[in-house]
């Protein structure tokens, strides 16, 4: 597989889970736990406005007396989102994620609608697959 020119859309996971910024952190955490995910795009009227990670929830939950059912996602979500178009080269996305120490890239279309997500776990799976293919070639 030639990775350098492969578009990120070939390796992203289609968006199946997201939250609205008005949702409570408790509900968002339930979504994450139920579907075993660590990153949720935050939408407003279908458009990407932020990113919520399990770390954001854990960080908010460490405040003494914080009740996750009283705090909206919009209060703690990350506003600085790494988003890319589907035709962005995979190699560029992975480089940026590593350089900026990011857990994910959000793939959007020209209307800023979320199409998918590519996480550091996805990158590790891909690396494992590439290594396995290389091992097969060398035997």
Q: Which domains does the chain have, with CATH numbers?
A: 8-137 (3.10.580.10)
* The pLDDT of residue 2: 57
Residue 5 CA: distances (Å) to CA of 1, 63, 81, 92: 10, 45, 23, 9
Whose CA is closest to 71, among 81, 56, 83, 84? 56
- Whole-angstrom Cα distance, residue 47 to residue 99? 26
Segment 36-91, tens digit of pLDDT: 999 999 999 888 999 999 988 887 665 545 688 888 999 999 999 999 999 999 99
Segment 96-116, tens digit of pLDDT: 999 999 999 999 999 889 999
Q: What percentage of residues in the chain have a pLDDT greater than 70?
A: 92
Which residues, 6+ apart, have CB-to-CB distance to 78 below 8 Å?
50, 51, 52, 53, 56
pLDDT at 3 over 70: no
Structure tokens at 66: 């914080």
pLDDT at 138 over 60: yes
Segment 14-25, tens digit of pLDDT: 988 999 999 999
pLDDT at 135 over 90: no
Residue position matching structure tokens 């919520």: 52
pLDDT at 134 over 90: no
pTM of the full structure: 0.85
Tell me 8's DSSP state.
Answer: G
Structure tokens at 34: 């139920």
Residue 84 CA: distances (Å) to CA of 23, 60, 62, 123, 133: 25, 28, 32, 15, 27
4 or 69: which leads in pLDDT: 69
């Amino acid at each position: 597989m030639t990775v350098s020119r492969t578009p990120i859309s070939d390796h992203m996971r289609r968006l199946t889970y997201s939250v609205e910024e008005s949702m409570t952190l408790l509900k968002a955490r339930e979504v994450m736990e139920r579907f075993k995910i660590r990153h949720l795009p935050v939408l407003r009227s279908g458009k990407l406005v932020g990113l919520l990670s399990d770390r954001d929830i854990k960080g908010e939950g460490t405040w003494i007396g914080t009740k996750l059912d009283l705090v909206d996602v919009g209060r703690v979500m990350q506003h600085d989102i790494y988003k890319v178009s589907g035709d962005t080269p995979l190699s560029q996305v992975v480089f940026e994620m590593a350089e900026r120490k990011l857990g994910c890239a959000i793939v959007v279309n020209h209307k800023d609608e979320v199409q998918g997500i590519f996480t550091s776990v996805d990158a590790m799976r891909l690396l494992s697959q590439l290594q396995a293919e290389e091992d097969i070639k060398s035997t």
